Structure 1
Amino acid sequence: MPLDIATLKKDIKKLLTEENTKRDDGTTSIDNIVNQLGDAIDKFVRSGTVTTTVTTTGSASAQAGTGTGSIS
């Protein structure tokens, strides 16, 4: 599954809207934004699929190899 940019944008907009509607002195806003933005980015990165090609050497019962790929 490709990275879900639409959900990331929705989550960022939600957290900024929530902070914008608060009427306190703003001392906790930075911490709240950092925590919620970190969670949104983590969810975004984990939404991607890693595709890799593995090249192996060895016999049918003993394999060794490395893989390279990309996240989409």
Structure 2
Amino acid sequence: MALDKSKLEKGIKQLLEDMMQREQNSFDEFAKRLATTIDAYVKEGEIEYLGGLVNSGGAVTGTIQGTIK
């Protein structure tokens, strides 16, 4: 699945709205929820591998040719 920036923006906006409703600040909760939102966004990405790596019986070498979707 390709990265969906608008979904990330909505998640961050929802988090900020939720935090503004709190009567007490919670930096720990905000940090944890923001990290979770970003983590979910990044995990939706795909790497399209086009080539560039070789293995001649030893370690894999080369430079990856590809893109992140």
Q: TM-score range by the shorter chain?
A: 0.7 to 0.9
* Residue 51 of structure 2 corresponds to residue 54 of structure 1: yes
Per the alignment, residue 2 of structure 2 pairs with 2
Superimposed CA distance per residue, residues 14-68 of structure 1 (whole angstroms, 9 cap, x where no aligned partner): 11111101112x2x2x11111111011111111111011224466xxx7x66533
Q: Quote how far apart the aligned CAs of 1:8 are.
A: 0.7
State the alpha-carbon separation in 2 of the partners of residues 52 and 65 from structure 1: 15
Q: State the secondary structure of the residue aligned to 1:69.
A: strand
| Residue identity (%) | 26
Per the alignment, residue 41 of structure 1 pairs with 38
State the alpha-carbon separation in 2 of the partners of residues 57 and 31 from structure 1: 45
* Residue 23 of structure 2 corresponds to residue 23 of structure 1: yes
State the alpha-carbon separation in 1 of the partners of residues 16 and 55 from structure 2: 51
Give the TM-score of the pair, scaled to structure 1: 0.72
Q: State the secondary structure of the residue aligned to 1:52.
A: strand
Q: State the secondary structure of the residue aligned to 1:54.
A: strand
Structure 1 stretches of 5 or more lacking a match?
Answer: none
Q: What RMSD in Å do the two structures reach over aligned CA positions?
A: 2.0
